[in-house]
Structure 1
Amino acid sequence: MTITVTPFIAFFGATGGCTNACLVHTLNAGYNATALARDPVKLTQMLFDQGISQEVLDDQLLIIKGDISDLTAIKDVLTNNTIRTKHIELARQIISGVGGAPTVNKSLTKPVAIDHPEICAQTTQNIVQALTEIHFPDKPSITVISTTGISDTKEDVPFMSRFLHKVILADPHRDKKEMERIVTENTSPKGVFRGAIIVRPSLLSGDHNVKTGQGWKNLRVGTEENPAVGYTVGRQDVGEWIFEQVVKTGGENHFGQRITLTN
């Protein structure tokens, strides 16, 4: 018997705004996907609310219950290990938009704290570890959602926002920067990723609802060397841009780039 293998995309942080929007577009376009979720019911309801049917979920999406510290769950997401065909394969692409929840403190030195201040770096490192242990001959690409305000090359935030990025958001930005380092160090030829795209949106606004965005074509797009500088960008539009420019195309044209997105 011949088993037909359908490529799929692995999602981490799928209940977050940008990643959830990308997942909705991915499913609507007929792609197969897997997703890690601490609360699968929450993720399922978010997808229902955006018009994804139970039939589509049954046919195209495998949700693995777990968190970013669970290497077994991460491996299952990367290999669709419990899919109905029982034919284990490796994700062609990884989309990661994991992030911590901010809280406001009565502190001048750290006015904004994150409930998990190293979550982006830890997630990425655990994905690397999982891929190392899987021992598949092929390599997936990875796209991670980072942020503006951490570039060592050129200023990519407006002057009036620099205090916010450099001081108030110092801890989450430090985490994003470490995540980027891990991605870069583990990309081909010796790494576990065949290619990597780092997406640096401006301060995120809006929610995950793909029906309320301005559209990915309205975004201003730049690179680290020539950044698009702005104050905010919609989560829905960032997710749609990743779908259009990475999921649909494979993303090869953007491998090795740090892409800035803003309205």
Structure 2
Amino acid sequence: MSSSQFIAFFGATGGCTNACLVHTLNAGFHATALARTPSKLIDMLHGQGISQATIDAQLTIIKGDISDIAAIKSVLLSNKDNSNPVLASQIISGIGGTPQLQRSLKKPVTIDNPEICATATKNVIQVLQQIYTEFPTTISQQQKPVITVISTTGVSDVKEDVPFGFQFLYHVLLADPHKDKKVMEKLITENTQESDASKRVFRGAIIVRPSLLTGDHSVKGGKGWKKLKTGQEEKPAVGYTVHRADVGQWIFEQVVKTGGESYLGQRITLTN
């Protein structure tokens, strides 16, 4: 990666994405991140051992939320007033809502923003389309970013990837929140499979489907990414839980560091 390239993060205060960001900064990469409350993200990074000097030198935090088109553009594009714009080489998104209980037998669990993943995806696609229109000759297909999104097991239409003991939890109790993840995946897949390459806003996509997430964002709290079981949609790794920090580290090691070339177009299941 050249010194001008950077990784764009959405949902950076979430456990998996925050852990990935910590590893990214510790490895010397430059990054941008969208945050509704930048001070919260900075405090989380300090708590993970990231110095203020590292934050100042390697991270640009843009204040805003996923509905803010201008803020999203600032996260994805640097030197936007220059004839040589620099676009994020990768996008890491852990956007998601907060689960909430409600008095309903059919839908006992919902989320505070039931369409947040779909909205985030639509807005990122919209902003990238705007960027390519604004700079029609300066960004080639190979310069378009690879997007990695954190989805969930239990949304596959191909093969069951949830153990029997969790199937009621996933397919009944969590059915409503998981609809948003499915829409997110569909939007990304449809765009990356566009027959007209010029309409594809991403160079490729990786969908990460962890099993039930445990723990917090602390990179010291996991068991280590090498201990994870991995699978693909046709042959998923089936398990009960996985630590958020391990998911974040896996994304860093297998996607951020390498560019994720060997995983493009795949849906990767992660579990312990």
* TM-score over 0.5 for the pair: yes
1:52 deviates by: 0.3
2:125 to 115, 124, 128: 128
Confirm or deny: 8 A CA contact 1:17 1:208 kept in the other structure.
Answer: yes
Contact 1:62 1:80 (C-alpha < 8 Å) held by counterparts: no
- Equivalent runs, 1:156-235 vs 2, <5 Å: 156-187=161-192, 189=197, 190-235=199-244
Q: Residues of 2 paired with 1:110 and 1:40: CA distance?
A: 34
Residues 206 and 265, structure 2, Cα contact 8 Å, conserved in 1? yes
By how many angstroms is 1:87 displaced?
Answer: 6.9
CA distance in 1, matches of 2:8, 2:79: 12
TM-score (norm 1): 0.95
Q: Deviations over 1:180-205 (max 9, x none)?
A: 01111111634100010000000100
Is 1:152 matched with 2:150?
A: no
Give distance in 2, aligned partners of 1:104 and 1:152. Answer: 26
How far apart, in 2, do the equivalents of 1:69 and 1:87 lie? 27
Alignment CA distance shift 1:61-1:13 (3 Å) = same
Partner residue, 1:242: 251
Please name the residue that 1:29 is paired with: 27
- How many angstroms apart in 2 are the aligned matches of 1:194 and 1:111? 38
TM-superposition CA deviations, 1:122-177 (whole Å, max 9, x none): 10110000000011523111000000001111100001111111111111110000
RMSD: 1.7
How much has 1:107 moved relative to structure 2? 2.2
Equivalent residues in 2 for 1:62-141, closer than 5 Å: 62-80=60-78, 88-135=85-132, 136=135, 137=139, 138-141=143-146
TM-score, structure 2 as length reference? 0.92
Shift, 1:80, TM fit: 3.1
Letter in 2 for 1:49: G
Q: Do the aligned partners of residues 73 and 261 (structure 1) sit closer, same or farther apart at CA in structure 2, a change above 3 Å counting?
A: same
Distance 1:20 1:174 in 2: 24
- Superposed CA offset, 1:35-72 (max 9, x none): 00000000000000000001000000000000000000
Aligned letter for 1:28?
Answer: N
Cα offset for 1:86? 11
Q: 1:218 to 1:108 in 2, by over 3 A?
A: same
Quote the Cα distance in structure 2 between the aligned partners of 1:25 and 1:258. Answer: 22
Measure, in 1, the Cα distance between the counterparts of 2:256 and 2:177: 26
Deviation, structure 1 residue 88: 3.8
Deviates more, 1:26-35 or 1:178-187: 178-187
Residues paired across the two proteins, number:
259
Aligned partner letter, 1:133: Q
Q: For the Cα contact (< 8 Å) 2:80–2:86, is it kept in 1?
A: no
- The letter of the residue matching 2:218 is N
Counterpart contact for 2:9–2:17, Cα < 8 Å: yes
Residue ranges of structure 1 left out of the alignment (5+ in a row): none
Runs of 4+ in 1 over 4 A off after TM superposition: none
